[in-house]
Amino acid sequence: MDVVVFGATGPTGVLLCEQALAAGHSVRAVSRSSGPLPISDSGLTPIRADAVSGEGVREAVLGTDAVLSVLGAPYSRHAIGIYSIGTAHVVEAIRAGARGNRLVVVSSGLTYPAPGHFGLVAEHVVFPILRNGPGRTLYADMRRMEEYLHTCGDIDWTVMRPGRLTKDTAVSNYRLDDNFPTRGYTARGDLAAAMLAELGPDGHIHRAVAPTTR
């Protein structure tokens, strides 16, 4: 397939590009920066685009089969729009000129309150503090993104809700649950692998899934 990776220079984005190339896909690696990518391959095409402003997004997506978005932002007291605004620009670009309509995006296992897996203290104290305190603007934007995608019936989207991301790059026998993670951590290598697996015939269309590392 010819796939686009938004956020390609981030830690998960680099792994996603590497795994996609190893699987035989052609990859368009999208970054806001004009600097060189940390990887090179004959199947890799660096593209400069800005998902938030929309600049270059349509050109990046034109004629491709699938879009994988690992766009992200750190906690901030200020408003965040990279998830909702960036995803909206990507969807518009898919509609305008992509060959396929497959879209996989990353949200978080903390975006919505989850059923009990982690104990009373975590679910009634720690997670609400993160969700409504330092992560308030981040998770609010993730919710806007997910709510927007639910209006996009013509797009074959999937939302990934990993646990807390770790630096592990190896791919393990990760677990994939519906809607909410049942373990606390997700290796970046496993998140990338789970996103890539969604492009296969068993992808979870119009659903949220949660990969976690065993």
- For domain 2-212, give the fold: Rossmann fold (3.40.50)
**Confidence bin at 134 (pLDDT 50/70/90):** confident
Residue 107 near residue 147, CB atoms below 8 Å = no
pLDDT, position 88: 98
68-84 pLDDT, tens digit per residue, is 999 999 889 899 999 99
The amino acid occupying position 94 is I
The mean pLDDT value of the chain amounts to 93
pLDDT, position 129: 72
Residue 188 has pLDDT above 90, yes or no: yes
142-162 pLDDT, tens digit per residue, is 999 999 999 999 999 999 999
- Which has the closest alpha carbon to 87: 1, 160, 32, 148? 148
The alpha-helical segments, DSSP class H, found in 36-182 are 57-61, 84-97, 120-121, 127-132, 136-149
Residue 132 has pLDDT above 90, yes or no: no
Average pLDDT over residues 51-63: 97
Residue 102 has pLDDT above 80, yes or no: yes
Percent of the chain past pLDDT 70, that is, above it, reads 97
Three-class DSSP category at 171: coil
**Confidence bin at 167 (pLDDT 50/70/90):** very high
Residue 103 near residue 61, CB atoms below 8 Å = no
Please give the residue that has the higher pLDDT: either 125 or 87.
Answer: 87
Residue 136 has pLDDT above 80, yes or no: yes
pLDDT, position 112: 82
**Confidence bin at 124 (pLDDT 50/70/90):** low
pLDDT, position 135: 79
Residue 11 has pLDDT above 90, yes or no: yes
pLDDT, position 36: 81
CA dihedral 163, 164, 169, 174 (to 10 degrees): -20
pLDDT, position 187: 98
Total-model pTM = 0.93
